[in-house]
Chains A and B, each alone.
Chain A
Amino acid sequence: MADTQLAQRTRTAQFEGQIRPRFSWFTDRWIAISFLTPTMLLLLFISIFPLVWSLYLSFTDWSVIKDANTAPQWIGTANYLELLTDNRTWQRFVVTGQFVVPAVVIELLLGFGIALLLNRKFTGRGAIMTLLLIPMMLSPIVVALFWRFMMQGDGVLNYYVVNLFGLEPILWLSDRYVAPWSLVIVDVWMWTPFMMLISLAGLSAVPNYLYEAAAVDRAGTWFRFRHITLPMVMPLLLIAIIFRTMDAYKLFDQAVVLTGGGPGRFTQTASMYLYDVAFGQFNTGEGSALGYIMLIVITALANLLIRALNATKST
């Protein structure tokens, strides 16, 4: 009988003398350390160290071109004082803010709206959704290139502005009042899919039984939206807003390709200004200080948003 054989084999099984696993000296502790070390070294060396160096430089008067062979000269907070008393600095942050707020708000509303639209079953849903998500995966440079092509003076957009609506051609990228909005339009095209994706995740996470319970209680559509959908989706929307705000604040690539900061300096964002100070004028110390001002602003902003997020989570 196979069964009794098995039982006998079990009894004669010898454990002693079996080879211990290789690398047994390689304890969990050592595994943890050696797994973490390369990542930590790279982050320290290429993220943290430059940050500290940048902090030091921000208190110096130094130019990578002119003063390459001399040590940076310590000038205390002079760079910060100069920047903060300079109207241009504030102007760049205003430009950035005037881009970030409308862009994020429109993306949020549009993305959430599209998510509501797509939150039902229909043929081709998966394919259509994936196609709609392509813009956010593209390089900002390429996106800007596409739109610059369409927005140039004799581009396809103006053809319809003139021939369909009978208006004068719009100077999308070179009119000081229109150009900032063109940046918003391009950003909306690129990042609305992001808001849509996250909103959809929130909507599909609302359990159906809540709607059924509400329907049994004879709640109207608006009531259901206001008291079931919105509160359930809110935390996710806030996460999306945090991601988008932090990202839009860094705006650089698209603006460089689309307007180059022009006309004049009307679309020069904080990031572009920093680039100009550091690598156009080669005021390395001042550029570093501007970088830290940007960092402080974004940290404060992130903190505010995260607090708002925690507040909605706890209620």
Chain B
Amino acid sequence: MADVRLKNVSKRFGESKKNDAVMAVKDLDLDVADGEFLVLLGPSGCGKTTTLRMVAGLERATSGEIFIGDRSVNDLPPGDRDIAFVFQFYALYPHLSVYDNISFPLRAQNMSKSEVDEQVRRVASRLKIEHVLNRRPNRLPSGEQQRVALGRAIVRQPQVFLMDEPLTNLDASLRSEMRVELKHLQQELGTTMLYVTHDQVEAMSMSHRIAVMSMGVLQQVDTPLEIYNHPKTLFVATFIGSPPMNTVACKVVDGHHLQGIENTFRLTLDPSYANRLANTKEVVFGIRSEDARLVNDDSAQLRGTVAVREPLGDETIYDMDMGQYRMAVKTPPRQIFRPGEPVGVAINLNRIHLFDRVTGQAV
């Protein structure tokens, strides 16, 4: 069991003097506690996989230091780091049987045959893949391939699990099933888990904490609900949540009033905001679709017309045409408006988000 600490880690691809050098990861500080399930979340190309591969030893950090437990692992080859890695495409060896795939890491340790056998069978029974032990992995359905890959990872009882989008190649129903199972497995083994995904549902549902990355920079590390309710940057706010948070750029007028850039609307906030907005001239105003309501009375602060109606069964999402911008609003299924109909939008002012328009940081 071990924690994982990254201190000021950077990764640059290409030569520093040339223009084609790319900073994949910039000055990353991240602590993963012992036994924690931490998800690295971000769009493709944000540096999350590079970070994971640096922890595994598959990439060398350009600068900074990585610790697993008390050991600095910068100079250790991957095999000496006592970690297990599950690849996106599983990397199951096609020429070996499932049994040999799972026992492969054990045989690297000169373990006796009977002990290897015992371990493999225990893992196989835990993952319910005993019946395929003698088959070749590439003939198996993807769900079972996934389990074999997990088996190969847990059989060696590593200090840390590293997983790179392991559920991406499963179909939707299997994916939700495996989400539960993976979370259960991690709880039961209590092994530290660093898990990379671009899927916010996976991140929200499985993790203890989420680390959101964008363009090689760590945006925020927090519990899922904290990330959802109190995003620290505009990127986090818009990346998480479906439909994405509604945002619109505004000017700050008279201390605690927001005015649309094109004078399209005016919103009066609680006077207590005046302090927070004292040093900011332009902000991005954000509101999640469930924190606004469609109303036909005076409680509406904004007015628009219905553009598109998307009934989802348990709720309906209205895509509103607000003049210069658009806005998504979630409503109960029974509340029906027609496209083209003018409607008022009431915003829950306790649930608004404000970001500096220049830096993207929450204010």
Contacts and interface: CB of A to CB of B under 8 A. Distances in A.
The reply to whether chain A is a binding partner of chain B is: yes
Interface of A: 2-7, 9-11, 13, 15, 18-21, 24
A6 B158 CA distance: 12
B110 A9 contact: no
27 contacts: A2-B122, A2-B125, A2-B126, A3-B126, A4-B188, A5-B122, A6-B123, A6-B154, A7-B188, A7-B190, A9-B157, A10-B154, A10-B157, A10-B189, A10-B190, A10-B191, A11-B1, A13-B157, A15-B82, A15-B159, A18-B109, A19-B110, A20-B80, A21-B77, A21-B79, A21-B80, A24-B77
B177 to A, nearest CB: 18
Contact of B189 (A6, A18, A20): A6
The 4 closest A-B pairs by CB, nearest first: A10-B157, A13-B157, A15-B82, A7-B189
Interface string B172-183: 000000000000
Interface in B107-147: 108-110, 122-123, 125-126
A18 B191 CA distance: 20
Contacts of A19: 110
A57 to B, nearest CB: 42
Interface residues of B, number: 19
Contacts of A15: 82, 159
Contacts of A24: 77
A24 B157 CA distance: 23
Nearest to A13: B157
Nearest to A28: B77
A9 B125 CA distance: 16
Contacts of A3: 126, 188
A21 to B, nearest CB: 6
Contacts of A13: 157
Interface in B74-96: 77, 79-80, 82
Which DSSP category, helix, strand, loop or mixed, fits chain A's interface?
A: helix
Contacts of A4: 188
A2 B191 CA distance: 17
Contacts of A18: 109
A31 to B, nearest CB: 13
B125 to A, nearest CB: 6
A219 B292 CA distance: 53
Contacts of B190: 7, 10-11
Contacts of B122: 2, 5-6
Nearest to A24: B77
Nearest to B191: A10
A16 to B, nearest CB: 9
Contacts of A2: 122, 125-126
Nearest to A5: B122
B123 to A, nearest CB: 7
A10 B189 CA distance: 7
A7 B80 CA distance: 22
Nearest to A18: B109
B25 to A, nearest CB: 22
A6 B185 CA distance: 11
B59 to A, nearest CB: 13
Identify which of B1, B123, B157, B188 gathers the most chain A CB atoms within 10 Å of its CB: B157
A96 to B, nearest CB: 45
Nearest to B80: A20
Contacts of B1: 11
Nearest to A20: B80
A2 B127 CA distance: 11
Contacts of B110: 19
Contact of A6 (B79, B82, B126): B126
Contacts of B188: 3-4, 7
A21 B191 CA distance: 25
Interface string B57-81: 0000000000000000000010110
Given A2-B125, A3-B188, A19-B110, 13 more contacts: A3-B126, A4-B188, A5-B122, A6-B123, A6-B154, A6-B189, A7-B188, A9-B157, A10-B190, A11-B1, A15-B82, A21-B77, A21-B108
A20 B110 CA distance: 11
A253 B152 CA distance: 57
